[in-house]
Amino acid sequence: MRNIDIQSIKQRFGIIGNSPLLNYAIQVAVQVAPTDMTVLITGESGSGKESFSKIIHQLSPRKHGQFIAINCGAIPEGTIDSELFGHEKGSFTGAHDTRKGYFEVTDGGTIFLDEIGEMPLGTQARLLRVLENGEFIKVGSSKVQKTDVRVVAATNVNLLNAVEKGRFREDLYYRLNTVPITVPPLRDRADDVYLLFRKFASDFAEKYRVKSVSLTPDAIPVLLDFRWPGNIRQLKNIVEQISVLEYDREIDAETLKRYLPREQASHVPALLNAEKSSDQAFSERDILYKVLFDMRRDVSDLKKLVFEMLAHQPAENDLLKEHGHLFENIGHYESRPYQPKEPSEGFYLPMKQMPPEEYEDQKIEDIQHETAEESLSLEDKEKELIVKALKKHNNKRKYAAQDLGISERTLYRKLKQYEIED
């Protein structure tokens, strides 16, 4: 395709930039537009994917038909089938009238399904039937209807990864991906960033009737070095803020830096997979129990250490070297021989005066008893809560687990641990 044609497309649809990656994406969109092939547009959020769907529709034989853009992630799972395919009167609560869905309304036109990766699996099966046979069934109906709609889909996630995790149908992925178009992120279009800044500055100057802002020579490298994780949308928002808030129309590097986020999410590695299965996820109560049990073990270890120090005074320094990590968070410990204090000092209040050796034996015995009580108290409380929950729900584990705020699997493990018969 000739360069002059690409430039005319850019002017018509308001696309700014001369990046080779951008030009190639436009070229593919123009070439596929006259056909009825399904197109999958991939790219990061804010990179301008919807502009490509409009190019495909306006340059196709369907340009006189209706064009509807739908964000699949913005429609609740319980209503998306009704929105896309319609419903019959009385098919569900609140369905007071028969309603046409988007696939019926846009017959002969184009539907742009943005964030297709957020579509529920049940709806994906219905969409696959439309793509394969041009057929759909309204919610609450058994009548098969025909439609002639071209589907252009877009996503900012890796659909192949979603397929591997069972969140996206493999057959639908390959049916959508007939012609892929990749919209480059703004960080891969370095030469276009300054052009976009000037375009947005001019637009906002006209909108707010102010003089257009411009960058000083030292500010331009700051603009170009930023990674723009939010892409064109982020750049546009920042230019609008500067245009409204800054009195000085010459923006230097220091002023520009104030509007750029210091920490960029794109630089932070994902150390943990935030998407866990329900079996692996911990409830808040599980986490609280774990913290309490860890604290109990730490206190028990500390008391045992003190017990050993009291029982074997000559080995005190060696024990501190071996177990010194237990004292790192409780302040400085000064090693010195153990010396019993007088009753008047408030350290120990015996019923009667005892020789030092008897006093030491008595103190060790008290520590052993206190350690045992500390070790059992939390387990007893947890066991008591479990027994109460089971009695409350007539030994139905499912409801008892819900009441306790833990999974049924965790409850079963606790029953075996505490030998509770339900």
In a domain, 275, yes or no: no
Residues 248 and 378 occupy one common structural domain:
no
* Mean local confidence (pLDDT), 114-143: 93
Residues 166 and 207 occupy one common structural domain:
no
Residues 126 and 251 occupy one common structural domain:
no
Residues 22 and 167 occupy one common structural domain:
yes
Residues 383 and 323 occupy one common structural domain:
yes
Between 367 and 398, the more confident residue is 398
In a domain, 160, yes or no: yes
In a domain, 273, yes or no: no
Residues 136 and 10 occupy one common structural domain:
yes
- State the CATH number of the domain containing residue 11: 3.40.50.300
pTM > 0.85: yes or no = no
In a domain, 81, yes or no: yes
Domain end position, chosen among 166, 184, 202: 184
Residues 39 and 54 occupy one common structural domain:
yes
In a domain, 278, yes or no: no
pLDDT digits (tens, 9 = 90+) for 42-101: 999 999 999 999 999 999 999 999 999 999 999 998 899 999 999 998 888 888 888 899
Strand partners, 250: 214
pLDDT digits (tens, 9 = 90+) for 351-382: 444 455 554 455 555 555 555 554 456 777 78
What is the predicted pLDDT for the residue at 1?
A: 44
Q: How far apart are CA 412 and CA 361, in angstroms?
A: 43
Domain that holds residue 203: 187-263
Between 350 and 89, the more confident residue is 89
Q: How far apart are CA 288 and CA 297, in angstroms?
A: 14
In a domain, 27, yes or no: yes
pLDDT greater than 90 at residue 306: no
Token output for 234: 């982020």
- State the CATH number of the domain containing residue 248: 1.10.8.60
Of 309, 305, 312, nearest in space to 327 by CA: 305
In a domain, 345, yes or no: yes
Q: What b/e readout covers 113-144, taking b as 16+ CB neighbours within 10 angstroms?
A: bbbbbbbbeebbebbeebbeeeebbbbbeeee
Residues 145 and 204 occupy one common structural domain:
no
Residues 191 and 179 occupy one common structural domain:
no
Residues 330 and 222 occupy one common structural domain:
no
In angstroms, what CA-CA distances link 333 with 173, 300, 309, 327, 329? 64, 18, 13, 7, 11
Residues 323 and 381 occupy one common structural domain:
yes
* Mean local confidence (pLDDT), 148-172: 94
Q: How far apart are CA 211 and CA 28, in angstroms?
A: 38
The number of distinct structural domains making up the chain is: 3
Residues 258 and 307 occupy one common structural domain:
no
Domain end position, chosen among 184, 203, 223: 184
In a domain, 270, yes or no: no
Domain end position, chosen among 130, 156, 184: 184
